[in-house]
Amino acid sequence: MKYTHAIVRRPGLSFVKGITTSSLGNPDVNLAIKQHELYCQSLSEAGVHVILLDAIEDFPDGCFVEDTAIVTEKGAVITRPGDPSRRQEIDSIASTLSKYKKLQFIADPGTVDGGDILRINNHFYIGRSNRTNSSGAAQLSNHLSSMGFTSSEVSVGDILHLKTGASYIGNNTLICVDQLRSYFDNCSIISVQPDEEYFANTVTVNNTLIVPGGFPESLKKVRHHLNSHFLKQKVQPQEVKIVELDMSEFQKMDGGLTCLSLLW
């Protein structure tokens, strides 16, 4: 899929007050802002028009825009985040997205976090988690069906979101933690070891693979897989650019690379 647009939101000074289960300490807001700027730059260099929204200090987790919508080439679904403190975030996102997409909505009692939704080609895996409930999953499945997509539910277990532990990088390949790999039997899996599980959340944008920095073993596996694939296809491996980004301050707040953008 060719991506042309991305919605992102700057982290605010209230970022330190966001929801987290991490024991990595408080984030450095100034460093988070710099990391976010590099993230936006990487999207732009990958050929995407970046729509940068201002921080909203009332919403400490507002920079994690992924949870507020599921966007496709045929329309968008505005979610109802699982944590009540985040539900008002959808208003600004809906207003922005309505300029580009026809919108559908998840209604009470349904809850859906966009981080639980993993697309592989025209099929959507809906992660059932503490943030995405059965009503939300059923509503989302119906909305996706109306746009011509298929979907299925998978259990996330004790992982925060489905995409916390799995990301699709194209060519029928996922980067995945062992806990989730059985759901994707038809795909080639690049496994991440337990001490590098944060690496499982990556962003593939056009011919660029953006990965979190600081996980050398997982990066080595990805490079090996890409080189093997391109050798089989008889094309040059440099056709895929790998960009490593320091995501330390977002990791402290349970956030990853996909969390920071809505791509279409």
Burial class (CB in 10 A: 0-12, 13-18, 19+), 195: exposed
Is 49 catalytic? The answer is: no
| CA-closest candidate to residue 124, choices 134, 110, 114 | 114
Spatial neighbors of 159 by CB under 8 A, at least 6 apart, are 129, 165, 177, 179, 180
Tokens of 130: 């503490």
Q: Which of 40, 63, 176, 259 is catalytic?
A: 259
Chain centroid, CA 59 distance in Å? 19
Q: Which of 63, 143, 161, 176 is catalytic?
A: 161
**28: helix, coil or strand?**
coil
Is 187 catalytic? The answer is: no
Q: Distance of CA 259 to CAs 1, 23, 114, Å? A: 19, 19, 8
| CA angle, 93 then 98 then 104, to 5° | 85
What positions carry a catalytic annotation?
Answer: 161, 259
